[in-house]
Amino acid sequence: HHKTDRYPLSQVEFARVKTPFIIGIWILSASIAKIGFHMTPKLHLIFPESCLLIVVGVVIGVVLYFCTDVAVSPLTPNTFFFYMLPPIILDAGYFMPNRLFFDNLGTILLMAVVGTIFNIATIGGSLYACGLCGMFGDESATPRLLDVFLFASLISAVDPVAVLAVFEEIHVNEILYIVVFGESLLNDAVTVVMYHMMEVYNEIGLPNINAQDIASGVGSFFVVALGGTAIGIIWGFLTGLVTRFTDHVRVIEPIFIFVMAYLAYLNAEIFHMSGILAITFCGITMKNYVESNISQKSHTTVKYALKMLSSSAETIIFMFLGVATVNNKHVWNTAFVVLTITFCSVFRVVGVIFLSAIANRFRLHKLSRVDQFVMSYGGLRGAVAFALVLLVDENVVKQKDMFVTTTIAVIYFTVFLQGITIKPLVEILNVKRAQKRKPTMNERIHERFMDHLMAGIEDIVGKTGNYNVRDKFKRFDNRFIRPLLIRDLKGAEPKIIETYSKLTMRDAMEVMRRNPSTI
Amino acid sequence: MGNKSSLFLRSEEIAQIQDETGFTPNQIERLYSRFTSLDRNDCGTLSREDLMRIPELAINPLCERIVHSFFAESTDDRVNFRQFMNVLAHFRPLRDNKQSKLNSREEKLKFAFKMYDLDDDGVISRDELLSILHMMVGANISQDQLISIAERTILEADLCCQGKISFEDFCKALDRTDVDTKMSIRFLN
C-alpha cells in the first residue's frame, strides 16, 4: 500500500535499525551503570561490581516486565557463547602469566578435571538420592537419573567470568589466583563433554545405553580437550606467522589477533570441541610470537581493545543475568534449591581438601589450609551454567524450568554471598596478596640464570622436572619455531633484551620530563 | 645397578650426610645410586668429564659453570659423594621439615653469586657479568648491546658506586624474588 503524496519532511522508521539500536542501548546502559558504581563513594568498596550489575539488570528486567508484554530475555545461549564469552576468554588467555600457569599446570589440571568430575558425580548422586527419598515432592517434580546428572554437569563447573570478576578485585597472591582461575578455564572441557554426553544419553534413553556409548563418552573427553587445545595452538602459530609479514601494514596488526583467535574458537565449536580451551591456548601461544613482531603501538591497541571488549562483555553478561531473572516461567522448589546449594558448597570444600592433599604430595609449595579455603570459596558459578541450562531441551527434560530457577539461585548465592564476603575474609585470614611489579634488569637476568642452573641440577640429579621440561621446550622453540615465526630474532633471551629496552625507554622519558628544555 | 650400589653406603655415612645436609635416608640412597651411575670408572668420585657427559647438561648454556660449582671445595678436581651431597643440599626446599644451614635463602643466593664470581673476589665485575650474559643470550646479538645491558644491570644494583655488584647488592636486587621457589627442587623419596 505504497502511497506517494508529497516529499516528507521527516520520517520515523524504527524497524530498520531496531536490532543494532537495541544492542547499542544495552551496551550504553551497562557502561553507564559501570561508571555509576565507581563514582559512588562506598558502594563499590563493599560489593563486587558483578553484584551491582546484576542488581541493575534486575531493575531493568522489572521495568521491562511491567512495560511490555513480551518476554524479554536478551541472554540467549547463542549470543552468550558466540559474542560475549570469547572476548573474556581471549583476554584471559592472552594476558595469562604463562610461566605461572605451566608451573602449576599439574594442580590446575587435577582441580579442573578430577575436581569437576568429582563434583558432578557427588552432586548428581546426592541429588538423585534425595529425589528417590521423595524430598522434592511428587513424581512430576522429581527429575530422572540422567536429568539430574545433566543438571549436575552444568552446575558443577566453576565459571571463568565470575571468578575473574571477583578475583581481579581482591588481588590474592599469584599462585592462588592461577590455580582457581586456571581451573575455571580448563574445566570447560569436562563440562562440555559431560553436558553433551548426558544430553545424548538422554536421547538414547537410560535402558538402551551400552558399553560402547560409555566408552566413547570417556574417549570423547580426550578428543574434546586435546582437540580444542590443538586447534588453539595451531591458530596461535598461524597468527604468529601472519604477523611476521605485517611490517608494511601496521594498522591491521590488531585485527589478526582478534579475528584469528575468534576463528580458533569457532573452529573448535564446529567440531563440538572445547572452544574455551581453543581460544585460551590460542592466546597463550600467539602471545609469544606476536609480541615480537607487532609494533609497540599495535601492542598497546591490542591490550586496550582486549581489555575493553572483555570488560564490556563481562558487564553485559552480569546485567543480562539480572534481566533474565525476571520472567514468569520460574518453578521454585525450595528443597531442590536448598539441597543444590548445600551440595555445591559442601562437595566443593570436600573436593578441594581431598585434591590439595594429593597435589601437596607433588608440589614444592604446599597449598596451606588458608589457600584451600580460598580455593573452595572461590568456586563461583556464573553465566556459563546459565547459558547451558537454557540450552536444555524441555521436551526431553521435564523439569527444565525448575533447573533454570535453581541455576539462577546458585549463581546468585555464589556471586552475592561468596562474592561480597570473600574480600573481608581474605583480609581476616591474612591471605598473602599479590604485588604488582615490573621486573628490574637484575631480576630478569639472575632469575633466568637460576632457571638454567636449576635445569642443570635436575639433569645431574637425573630427574625430569619443571625446569628440565621448560629448558627443552625453550631450546626447541629457539631453534625451530622462533626463526620461522619471528621477523627479526633477538638472541636466545628475548625477555632480557625486552626488559632492557623498556627500562632504557622509561629512563629516556624520565629525563625528558625532568629537563623539557633538552628536547 | 641402583639397588646393589646402595649396599656400599654404610649406615654411619648415611647418618652423617643426613646430619649435614638434611636429606632423608631414602633420598640419600636414591642420589647415591645416581652418583654411582654417573661414576663411570667406579672409583667412588666424580670428575668433571663424568658430569659433562650428561647429554642434557652438555647443551645447557651454563654447563661449565654448573659443573665448576660442584668442584669449588675439592682440591684435586674430583668430588666425592659427601661433597656432591653438600652441593645438592643447597637446592632442598626451605619448607621441608628438617632445616639445615645449607638451604637457607642466603646460602642459595650465595651459591648463585659464586657462580658469577669466577675469580672469587667477592664482587661481580662487569666482565664476569658479561661472560654470563654471553653464555645465556648468545648469538644474534651484538657485543655492544651486551655491554650496555651489563653496564645498566650493574648501575641498577650497585649501591656503593664501585662499578661492581657485591653480595649485599646482589641480595638487595633480588629482594622481591622468591628465591626459595626459584632455587629448590623436590628430591624424590
B18 with B75, same domain: the answer is: yes
Pick from A475, A489, A503: which is nearest to B152 by CB?
A503
Kindly state whether residue B189 falls inside one of the protein's structural domains.
no
Residues B78, B99: Cα–Cα separation, whole Å: 28
Higher per-residue confidence, B97 vs A81:
A81
| A contact residues 422-481, partner B, Cβ 8 Å cutoff | 435, 437, 440-443, 445-463, 465, 467-468, 471-472, 475
- Among B37, B57, B91, residue at a domain's last position: B91
B77 with B142, same domain: the answer is: no
Kindly state whether residue B184 falls inside one of the protein's structural domains.
no
Return the pLDDT at A281. Answer: 95
Higher per-residue confidence, B100 vs A216:
A216
B118 with B155, same domain: the answer is: yes
At residue B166, what are phi and psi to the nearest 5 degrees? -85, 170
Is B136–A460 a contact, with Cβ atoms under 8 angstroms apart? no
Kindly state whether residue B163 falls inside one of the protein's structural domains.
yes
Q: Are A497 and B137 in contact (CB under 8 A)?
A: yes
B183 CA: distance to closest CA in chain A (Å):
7
Return the pLDDT at A4. Answer: 67
Pick from A443, A496, A504: which is nearest to B177 by CB?
A443
Which whole-number Å values give the CA distances from A10 to A6, A14, B93, in the listed order? 11, 13, 78
Kindly state whether residue B125 falls inside one of the protein's structural domains.
yes
> What is the average per-residue pLDDT within A484-495?
78
Is A454–B91 a contact, with Cβ atoms under 8 angstroms apart? yes
Tell me the CA end-to-end span of chain A in Å, nearest whole number: 71
B130 with B168, same domain: the answer is: yes
B122 with B55, same domain: the answer is: no
- Among B91, B116, B144, residue at a domain's last position: B91
The half-sphere exposure of A136 on its side-chain side, counting CA atoms within 13 A, is 26
Band of residue A275 on the pLDDT scale cut at 50, 70, 90: very high
Is B54–A460 a contact, with Cβ atoms under 8 angstroms apart? yes
Is A362–B186 a contact, with Cβ atoms under 8 angstroms apart? yes
Kindly state whether residue B60 falls inside one of the protein's structural domains.
yes
B109 with B85, same domain: the answer is: no
Residues in A touching B185 (Cβ below 8 Å): 364, 454, 457-458, 461, 463, 465, 467
B117 with B171, same domain: the answer is: yes
Residues B8, B38: Cα–Cα separation, whole Å: 15
Residues in B touching A438 (Cβ below 8 Å): none
B76 with B142, same domain: the answer is: no
A25 CA: distance to closest CA in chain B (Å):
47
Is B185–A500 a contact, with Cβ atoms under 8 angstroms apart? no
Pick from A442, A454, A492: which is nearest to B173 by CB?
A442
B87 with B109, same domain: the answer is: no
The half-sphere exposure of A141 on its side-chain side, counting CA atoms within 13 A, is 17
For the stretch A407-439, pLDDT in tens is 999 999 999 998 888 888 888 888 887 776 777
Kindly state whether residue B186 falls inside one of the protein's structural domains.
no
Domain of residue B62, residue span: 11-91
For the stretch A453-467, pLDDT in tens is 988 888 888 877 788
Number of domain units in chain B? 2
Q: Does A510 touch chain B (CB under 8 A)?
A: no
Kindly state whether residue B4 falls inside one of the protein's structural domains.
no
Least confident stretch, A133-137, A233-237, B2-6, B153-157: B2-6
For residue B44, give the CATH number of its domain.
1.10.238.10
Q: Structure pTM?
A: 0.87
The percentage of residues in chain A with a pLDDT greater than 70, rounded to a whole number, is 97
Kindly state whether residue B134 falls inside one of the protein's structural domains.
yes
B113 with B67, same domain: the answer is: no
B87 with B126, same domain: the answer is: no
- Among B47, B69, B91, residue at a domain's last position: B91
Is A447–B93 a contact, with Cβ atoms under 8 angstroms apart? no
A338 CA: distance to closest CA in chain B (Å):
42
ipTM of the complex: 0.91
Residues in A touching B145 (Cβ below 8 Å): 497
User: Residue-wise over A82-112: b if at least 16 C-beta within 10 A, else e?
Assistant: eebbbbbbbbbbbebeeeebbbbeebbbbbb
Is A456–B112 a contact, with Cβ atoms under 8 angstroms apart? no
Residue A299 has pLDDT above 80, yes or no: yes
Residues in A touching B57 (Cβ below 8 Å): 456, 459-460
B18 with B56, same domain: the answer is: yes
Is B156–A441 a contact, with Cβ atoms under 8 angstroms apart? yes
Q: Are A416 and A381 in contact (CB under 8 A)?
A: no
